[in-house]
């Protein structure tokens, strides 16, 4: 008989106040954005950006829109396009779930491009600061996935396998926790370690490259034990959608790391 760790039954609803329902998933997004905003106010004011705190406040709004709109559209386009083509109004029903990191990333990149263009500051230098805080949101988001009992892993005989209520009676990898650890804690530590030892302020794009390549490696590895999305299954070369979307991130991240070099000032 295969042993399994019981899945902790945590109510996805954190708080109900009259008609208002606050879910852990939504609170994770809010907490991640607020933590990123606080650190951006602190780190953005340092050379070479010298970003005033009110500018960080302004970008908080841009980033929030980028995460929500990009994440939702990414899920629609990458993971369930045929369903939403048949039911287009369901695209607006974000409370039913359905967000994609790669879409949210693209949304934030667009927000960053518009913001830096408007402010006349370096896109790569600003991106380096933003990338230092993104893993916080990833960590909280993956914990929320675990609380929701979604995005579980493939069957396993390892002693920490869990039986997820929404899956079947097989012990499965708690892949949400793997991602929380790798995409959140480990990636945050690596990026900020590089920031502490490298002359990153003179090498615009370096931390952005570390983030992109680090996330891509973590996602590709975890997808090896994560259950593929049922509506997609395995795609070309037996890869999942998450892995295929992460390959361009890895290539771009390595390119940014290789091209980053000390300069007299940040380039726009």
Q: Tell the residue number behind the tokens 């900020």, with chain if given.
A: 192
Alpha carbon of 90 to those of 65, 80, 84, 135, 236: distances in Å?
19, 11, 7, 29, 28
Read off the pLDDT of each residue in 65-92 and give the average, rounded to a whole number: 90
Residue 103 in any domain: the answer is yes
Note if the bond before 162 is cis, omega within 30 degrees: no
pLDDT at 9 exceeding the cut of 90: no
Residue 134 in any domain: the answer is yes
Residue 151 in any domain: the answer is yes
Residue 136 in any domain: the answer is yes
Residue 266 in any domain: the answer is no
Residue 205 in any domain: the answer is yes
pTM for this predicted structure: 0.90
**What pLDDT shows up at residue 95?**
65
Number of domains in the chain: 1
What is the rounded distance in angstroms from the CA atom of residue 60 to the CA atom of residue 96?
Answer: 24
What is the rounded distance in angstroms from the CA atom of residue 248 to the CA atom of residue 45?
Answer: 31
Spatial CA neighbour of 140 closest among 1, 258, 31: 31
What is the rounded distance in angstroms from the CA atom of residue 45 to the CA atom of residue 245?
Answer: 33
Read off the pLDDT of each residue in 19-29 and give the average, rounded to a whole number: 86
Mean pLDDT of the chain: 90
Residue 219 in any domain: the answer is yes
Q: Residue 237's domain spans which residues?
A: 17-259
Residue 154 in any domain: the answer is yes
């Amino acid at each position: 008989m295969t042993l399994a760790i019981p899945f902790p039954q945590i109510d996805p609803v954190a708080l109900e106040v009259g008609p208002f329902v606050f879910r852990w998933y939504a609170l994770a997004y809010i907490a991640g954005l607020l933590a990123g905003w606080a650190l951006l106010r602190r780190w953005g004011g340092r050379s070479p950006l010298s970003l005033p705190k009110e500018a960080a406040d302004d970008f908080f709004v841009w980033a929030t829109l980028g995460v929500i709109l990009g994440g939702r559209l990414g899920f629609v386009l990458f993971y369930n396009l045929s369903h939403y083509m048949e039911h287009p109004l369901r695209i607006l029903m974000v409370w039913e779930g359905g967000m994609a990191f790669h879409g949210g990333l693209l949304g934030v990149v667009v927000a960053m491009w518009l913001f830096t263009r408007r402010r006349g500051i370096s896109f790569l230098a600003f991106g380096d600061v933003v990338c230092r805080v993104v893993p916080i949101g990833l960590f909280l988001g993956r914990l929320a996935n675990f609380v929701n009992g979604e995005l579980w892993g493939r069957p396993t005989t390892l002693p920490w396998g869990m039986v997820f209520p929404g899956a079947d009676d097989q012990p499965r990898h708690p892949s949400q926790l793997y991602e929380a650890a790798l995409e959140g804690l480990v990636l945050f530590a690596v990026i900020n370690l590089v920031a502490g030892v490298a002359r990153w302020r003179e090498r615009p794009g370096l931390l952005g490259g570390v983030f992109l390549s680090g996330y891509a490696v973590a996602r590709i590895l975890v997808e090896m034990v994560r259950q593929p999305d049922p509506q997609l299954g395995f795609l070309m070369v037996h890869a999942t959608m998450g892995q295929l979307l992460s390959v361009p991130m890895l290539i771009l991240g390595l390119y940014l790391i290789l091209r980053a070099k000390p300069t007299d000032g940040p380039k726009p």
